[in-house]
Every structure is written in structure tokens, then in C-alpha cells.
Structure 1
Amino acid sequence: MSSIRICLDKVLEKQHITRYELQKRTGIQYQTIDKYYKNKVVRYDSDLLLKMCVALDCGIEDLIEVVR
């Protein structure tokens, strides 16, 4: 069975950015960022993913992976 995994933890670690810093850059609530960070999101918000991509200067393929 395949699933989608959010890799925000890896991207933040690679760029040496904290969840708090991402919150300041995007205006997204810390609790929401934390859910994406811990991969506990069930419904993905495309607007939030776009804000994260812009703030982190990365592509959507850096934040999302398909796990087979």
C-alpha cells in the first residue's frame, strides 16, 4: 500500500531552520506547522504548502514524497 509523506522535518533540518522560524516567515500557526512536521496531517492544504515552499525556497517535490 502506498502513502504520502510530508518531509518538512528533513527540509528544515537541511536548511537549519526551526519550526518557529518557519512560522514567522509564513504566518502559519505553529500548531499547524508542527502537524506537518510530525506528518500528522490527513488533509493537505495547497495554500499552506505553497507558503512553505516559497519561504523555504524549495519545490513541492522536496516537501512531499510517495512511500510505496
Structure 2
Amino acid sequence: MSRIKIELEKVLKERKISKNQLCYACKLQHTQLNNYCKNKVVRVDLATIAKICDYVGCSIADILVLEKDEEPGKEIAEE
């Protein structure tokens, strides 16, 4: 099964933006930002993603990436 991967930490490093800067500018809590950076978010807040994209100067596709399953149908066969 494909899944969405959040690559926010990678984008921040590429653009040399600290987590502290982003938290302050976007009014995010550090724990909230860390969950996005570590892919531990269950429900993505689109307003938060929009704020992050505006501040960082990137598109949503730079942050949210669809990882395709290597073997389609594998999960179905295992069930």
C-alpha cells in the first residue's frame, strides 16, 4: 500500500531554516513541528501545511511525497 511521507525536515535543511525560526514564524508548537518532521502525524492540518509552504517558499509537493508500494497487490495476497 502506498503512503504519504512528510519530508519537511529535509526541506528545512536544504533551505537552511531552523525549526525555531519556523515555529516562531508560523506560530507552531515545537512538539507539533517535530511530529511533522518525524512523520508521526496522523492527521495533516492543511492550514498548517499552507503556512509552512508560504514561509519556506515551497510547494506542497516538496513536503508531502507519495511513496508507491514496490509490489502492488502484495498486501492483498498476505491477508
CA distance in 2, matches of 1:4, 1:35: 14
CA distance in 2, matches of 1:37, 1:58: 15
Segments of structure 2 that go 5 or more residues without pairing to the other structure are 69-79
**Aligned Cα root-mean-square deviation (Å):** 0.7
Deviations along 1:14-65, one digit per CA (max 9) or x if unpaired, are: 0111111110111111110110011100100000000100110111011100
Partner of 1:27: 27
Give the structure with higher Rg (CA).
2
SS of equivalent residue, structure 2 residue 4: strand
Segments of structure 1 that go 5 or more residues without pairing to the other structure are none
TM superposition score normalised by structure 1: 0.95
Partner of 2:55: 55
TM superposition score normalised by structure 2: 0.83
* Deviation >6 Å, runs of 4+: none
Alignment of 1:1-68 (within 5 A): 1-68=1-68
The alignment of Structure 1 onto Structure 2 pairs a total of residues equal to: 68
| Identity score, percent | 35
Partner of 2:73: none
